[in-house]
């Protein structure tokens, strides 16, 4: 039995050394795998990429005069608001239809926008420690989720710090006397002056 055992052992050693020379499949390093932010509302996601690159369609309520300015030169952030300075938008068109508060519904304009939200901070209650200071803590957008006690309507809301993250996509509502002019202006800007604040 001893010679047989020695033969088997020799074959095992030979096989092991042969396998050691075979290149092994190398998987990706964990440190190189892109991570993703929390997906807050999958039904509204247009693009989902690496962290900081989610893109959503949102709505912005404004006046005719302000809409013309936005189409021609881009958004300008509000100086203040419930979530501090920034561009206020919502993924729920019903929220945008309430603004501006000083105009009646028939005089309001609703712009559809495409927003690269970046790093998002959820603000779900009044008095949240980062309610107005989220940007100073490294966030690009503040997000009030639906049915939050933050607002009586319970409608979702976003505040985007950098207006360059917001692009105009379309005019979805406007007074009858202004809708043609706004659509014509938007078409002209997209055709001849496709700047960073427009989806062309």
- Percentage of the chain with pLDDT > 90? 72
**Is 127's pLDDT higher than 90?**
yes
Q: What digits encode the pLDDT tens for the residues 22-38?
A: 333 333 332 222 223 33
**Is 195's pLDDT higher than 50?**
yes
**Is 68's pLDDT higher than 50?**
yes
- Number of domains making up the chain: 1
Domain presence at residue 139? yes
Q: What is the pLDDT of residue 24?
A: 35
Domain presence at residue 129? yes
Domain of 123: which CATH number? 3.90.228.10
Q: What is the pLDDT of residue 1?
A: 47
Q: What DSSP line would sit under the chain, residue for residue?
A: -HHHHHHHHHHHHHHHHHHHTSPPP-PPPGGGSPP----S-GGGEEE--STT--EEEEEEEE-HHHHHHHHHH----BS--TT-SBEEEBSSHHHHTT-STTS-GGG-EEEEEEEE--SEEE--STT-TTTTTGGGGT-SEEEE-TT-TTSTT---EEEES-GGGEEEEEEEE--HHHHHHHHHHHHHHHHH---TTB--
**Is 4's pLDDT higher than 60?**
no
Q: What digits encode the pLDDT tens for the residues 88-100?
A: 999 999 999 999 9
* Cα–Cα nearest to 197, from 65, 75, 88: 75
Domain encompassing residue 169: 46-193
The residue that leads in pLDDT, 138 or 11, is 138
What's the mean pLDDT in 77-102? 96
Domain presence at residue 77? yes
Q: What is the pLDDT of residue 53?
A: 58
- On whether the CB atoms of residues 149 and 128 are closer than 8 A, the answer is no
Domain presence at residue 5? no
**Paired sense of beta strands 109-116 and 166-173, if any:** antiparallel
The residue that leads in pLDDT, 39 or 174, is 174
**Is 6's pLDDT higher than 60?**
no
Domain presence at residue 78? yes
d(CA 37, CA 18): 45
d(CA 200, CA 198): 6
Domain presence at residue 26? no
Domain presence at residue 180? yes
Domain presence at residue 36? no
């Amino acid at each position: 039995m001893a010679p047989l055992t020695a033969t088997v052992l020799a074959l095992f050693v030979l096989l092991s050394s042969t396998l050691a020379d075979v290149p092994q499949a190398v998987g990706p390093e964990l440190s190189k795998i892109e991570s993703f932010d929390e997906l807050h509302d999958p039904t509204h996601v247009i693009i989902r990429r690496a962290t900081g690159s989610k893109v959503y369609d949102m709505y912005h309520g404004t006046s005719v005069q302000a809409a013309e300015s936005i189409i021609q030169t881009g958004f300008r952030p509000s100086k203040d608001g419930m979530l501090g300075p920034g561009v206020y938008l919502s993924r729920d068109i019903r929220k945008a239809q309430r603004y501006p508060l000083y105009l009646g519904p028939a005089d309001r304009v609703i712009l559809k926008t495409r927003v690269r939200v970046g790093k998002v901070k959820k603000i779900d209650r009044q008095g949240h420690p980062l309610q107005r200071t989220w940007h100073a803590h490294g966030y690009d957008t503040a997000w009030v989720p639906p049915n939050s006690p933050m607002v009586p309507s319970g409608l979702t809301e976003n505040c985007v710090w950098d207006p360059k993250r917001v692009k105009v996509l379309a005019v979805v509502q406007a007074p009858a006397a202004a809708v043609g002019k706004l659509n014509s202006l938007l078409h002209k800007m997209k055709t001849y002056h496709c700047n960073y604040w427009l989806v062309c």
